[in-house]
Structure 1
Amino acid sequence: MSIFRFPPMVWIGIGILIVSLGIRQSFGIFMLPISDHFDSGREFFSFAIALQNLLFGVFQPMVGMAADRFGAKRIVIMGAIAYATGLYITSIATSAAVVYVSLGALVGLGLSATSYVIILGVVAKVVPAQHAAKAFGLTTAAGSFGMFAMIPGAQALLSEFGWQGAMQVFAMLCTVMVAFACFIKSSSSNSDASGVQSPSSVSLKQALQEAFRHKGYWLIHLGFFVCGFHVMFIATHLPSYLADKELPASSAALALAYVGIFNIFGSYFWGMMADRFNKRHVMFVLYLLRAAIIAGFVTLPITQYSAAIFGGAIGFVWLGTVPLTSGLVRQIFGAQYLSTLYGLVFFTHQVGSFLGAWAGGLIYDYYGSYQPIWWSTVALALIAAVVHLPINDKPLARLAIAS
């Protein structure tokens, strides 16, 4: 299936993700100005972002269940409102405690309702199973385009209006997600896009029991934990790491922009590979590449050129895990409860994000260096590569019978 023949719902989801994830991925360049404003160390902002990611994950299973039951439209609209409110309150905050509630809790809730889990749940119900990973890859790439588009804009807003003004502009931009969400149509049928009828006797509770008894489901959790650790450590701390190396702020903005633009191609590429080859083997290769890229970056001299090359290289493997992971969950457990089951996996991803963002600042403040945490990410990548190999990726018996 050509990408141009995907249903309109896929493109609506793409529009929502561009805004939601584009704003989220720009938060790293706010670390230094916000930390300076509150006269605090980097751990303050690191913990706020870590809390945001943790709550993003905590809210995700509940939001996923609500979307499976009540439809994605209401969830996305409420999430966009929470997102905008959190950004605006952050811009007028006068104490660190307020930032923890606004940028941490409210934005975390907003992200959980406007990002991959909800949107991929919508996509899974309108795209045939054999093309699901490709559609997931295209949808994931949308978030990367948002990163590419938002980060240079955020840098310009910081220079022109300060960090408060930039946050307020982002809050207004959240209304775009509300507009897109109005066009989402929730399917009331139990069948997925492949025409397979999900047995009506299978309740949400039974689907959860099936997943919890499946060894591969927990290995998927472990792999996605590592992904979360990687992406939020890099997104949050790369600008500060490059500043410590006496590179200009524009180098960090350019490197993160390259992460975004190369992930556009990478996410779609890994989605196509997942449709063509065994997803477990593709995931193994992806994590090996991550380990090699990170190890090369921290070993070689840090310059503006090496930072840009790292941005492009890590961007190519940045969120390729999303179509692979969500594709594995859909392949094994079906589309009916994808938002719930993938939401639980995404919670584990966000636990990794919490630790990646927070530990980066904590270790830096303790050692005065990011080197220990960089090498930890290499070791974790190697572990994640190996744990995907023993996963039993065959569809559950009831789905095979239904097919």
Structure 2
Amino acid sequence: MGARQTLGVFLIAVTEELGSGRESYSLAVAILSLLMGLPVGGYLADRFDPRRVLLGSAVIYGIAMVGVARLNSAAGLLLFLGLLGGIGFSGVSLALVMGAVGRLVPVERRSSVLGVITAGASVGMFLTVPVAQVGLDAIGWRWSFGVIAISAALIATLAFLFPGRRSEGARSEDTIDEPFVETLRRARRNRSYLLLVSGFFVCGFHVSFIAIHLPAFLTDAGLSGRVASIALAMIGLFNILGSPLFGRLGDSYRKRTLLSVLYGIRGLLMIALLLAPINPATAIVFGAAMGVVWLGTVPLTSATVAHLLGARYLTTMFGVVFFSHQVGAFLGVWLGGRVFDATGSYVPIWLIAIGLAAAAVIVHLPIQDQRKAILASPAVAGGKT
């Protein structure tokens, strides 16, 4: 997770050296984001040993980063950063980890535990973004991508510390024994699940646009790359607090209400960024404030999926929701580069992001996020005696 958040640090350096507009780099990262959202990794983890999925994916991602480091033209960005990078990330994504862990914990503690997992991803963001900026300044972007490749190989060796397939004795109480096809049918008929899917699209648009384009936005405004990277790192640092906080709140309060509040705060923060003068203080304060609500959506959303559909196929069904997130990520990253190349400004995309935040506030309010929703399907209820 942390390695992907560093990609925004390299946007200007890579595009300037390869002689391309920002759209080419943005499109490659957008393809990576879209592919990493495919629920294939989650399905394989549900069916087989998730440790092997994590190991193989980390190796593929490392190979992709080596390819990026050796590029001589922007054309190769789509192949190495976009295609191979996306395939590699699809098996080490947060969706896979959240689903695998979420099946093992009790219902009453699920939001809290998933909040801690999400915070762990932000530790990587907080640590790697400043290191990426230092590497860029000291050894250039090519060697920095090589370091990322080596890091991916080292992380791959940790895959076997991850829990293997869930044993029959390690079932959460809302695990429903039914074929996967029936779970999928229930999901298609569940209005709340579909609303959750659409709402998570907005989350993906927000976090990916900001992660990739905020450093360039701040640099264009006259700030140094160091300050821009600190602002991005502040998002990771304060999300270490924010995700567990909202995960804990999700164990006690309605998740749909918390989700609406989160998206509303995001929108207000983006409005404030556009209206305030851009200087180091406002950039860092924005990063810190955005960090509090950065990925608080993830434990709330994944726990709601389990409430709605049960935990048996949580990795796959949250993977479907996560794919919607990554479709939003694709558009946020790509349109950020495309609109900038066309207009010389990021303001139009900020305005779109603000409008989407308002829509997300409304979309989450009708969601039925209480535990009884699992038994709402006649197919499941009929199986109870």
Q: What is the TM-score when the length of structure 2 is the normalising length?
A: 0.95
Q: Cα–Cα, structure 1 residues 220 and 195, in superposed 2: closer, same or farther, change >3 Å?
A: closer
CA displacement at 1:239 relative to structure 2:
1.1
Q: Cα–Cα, structure 1 residues 211 and 306, in superposed 2: closer, same or farther, change >3 Å?
A: same
Q: Distance in 2 between matches of 1:390 and 1:190?
A: 35
1:317-328 aligned at under 5 Å gives the runs 317-328=293-304
Name the stretch that deviates more: 362-371 or 390-399.
390-399
Name the SS of the counterpart of 1:131 in structure 2.
helix
Q: Distance in 2 between matches of 1:196 and 1:234?
A: 36
Q: Distance in 2 between matches of 1:197 and 1:323?
A: 18
Name the stretch that deviates more: 117-126 or 282-291.
117-126
Deviations 1:284-332 (A, max 9, x none): 1111111111101111111111000000011111111110110110111
Q: Cα–Cα, structure 1 residues 192 and 212, in superposed 2: closer, same or farther, change >3 Å?
A: farther
- The residue aligned with 2:240 is 264
What is the percentage of aligned positions where both structures have the same residue?
Answer: 40
Deviations 1:91-150 (A, max 9, x none): 012222222111111111121111211111221132111111111100000111101000
Q: Cα–Cα, structure 1 residues 196 and 55, in superposed 2: closer, same or farther, change >3 Å?
A: closer
Q: Distance in 1 between matches of 2:152 and 2:206?
A: 26
Instruction: State which of 221, 224, 235 in structure 2 corresponds to 1:248.
Output: 224
RMSD: 1.7
Deviations 1:211-260 (A, max 9, x none): 01111111111111000000111111111111111111111111001011
- The residue aligned with 2:101 is 123
Name the SS of the counterpart of 1:286 in structure 2.
helix
Instruction: State which of 21, 39, 54 in structure 2 corresponds to 1:41.
Output: 21
- The residue aligned with 1:80 is 58
CA contact (8 A) 2:61 2:87 kept: yes
CA contact (8 A) 1:198 1:399 kept: no
Q: Distance in 2 between matches of 1:292 and 1:182?
A: 42
- The residue aligned with 2:312 is 336
Q: Cα–Cα, structure 1 residues 124 and 248, in superposed 2: closer, same or farther, change >3 Å?
A: same
- The residue aligned with 1:225 is 201
For 2:258, give the aligned amino acid.
V
- The residue aligned with 1:380 is 356
Deviations 1:346-382 (A, max 9, x none): 1111110010001111111112211111111111101
Q: What is the TM-score when the length of structure 1 is the normalising length?
A: 0.91
- The residue aligned with 1:164 is 142
For 2:9, give the aligned amino acid.
I
Aligned residues, how many? 379
Instruction: State which of 262, 284, 288 in structure 1 corresponds to 2:260.
Output: 284
CA contact (8 A) 1:190 1:198 kept: no
For 1:147, give the aligned amino acid.
M
Q: Cα–Cα, structure 1 residues 195 and 54, in superposed 2: closer, same or farther, change >3 Å?
A: closer
- The residue aligned with 1:28 is 8
Q: Distance in 1 between matches of 2:136 and 2:143?
A: 8
Q: Distance in 2 between matches of 1:112 and 1:402?
A: 36
CA contact (8 A) 1:221 1:348 kept: yes
Q: Distance in 2 between matches of 1:381 and 1:259?
A: 18
Instruction: State which of 366, 369, 373 in structure 1 corresponds to 2:345.
Output: 369
Instruction: State which of 198, 218, 221 in structure 1 corresponds to 2:176.
Output: 198
| Structure 1 residue runs without a partner (length 5+) | 1-20
CA contact (8 A) 2:208 2:329 kept: yes
Name the SS of the counterpart of 1:198 in structure 2.
coil
Q: Distance in 1 between matches of 2:174 and 2:259?
A: 27
For 2:300, give the aligned amino acid.
L
Q: Cα–Cα, structure 1 residues 192 and 389, in superposed 2: closer, same or farther, change >3 Å?
A: farther
For 1:179, give the aligned amino acid.
T
CA displacement at 1:343 relative to structure 2:
0.6
1:50 matched to 2:25? The reply is no
1:284-303 aligned at under 5 Å gives the runs 284-303=260-279
Q: Cα–Cα, structure 1 residues 108 and 391, in superposed 2: closer, same or farther, change >3 Å?
A: same
Q: Cα–Cα, structure 1 residues 258 and 197, in superposed 2: closer, same or farther, change >3 Å?
A: closer
- The residue aligned with 1:93 is 71
CA contact (8 A) 2:192 2:368 kept: yes
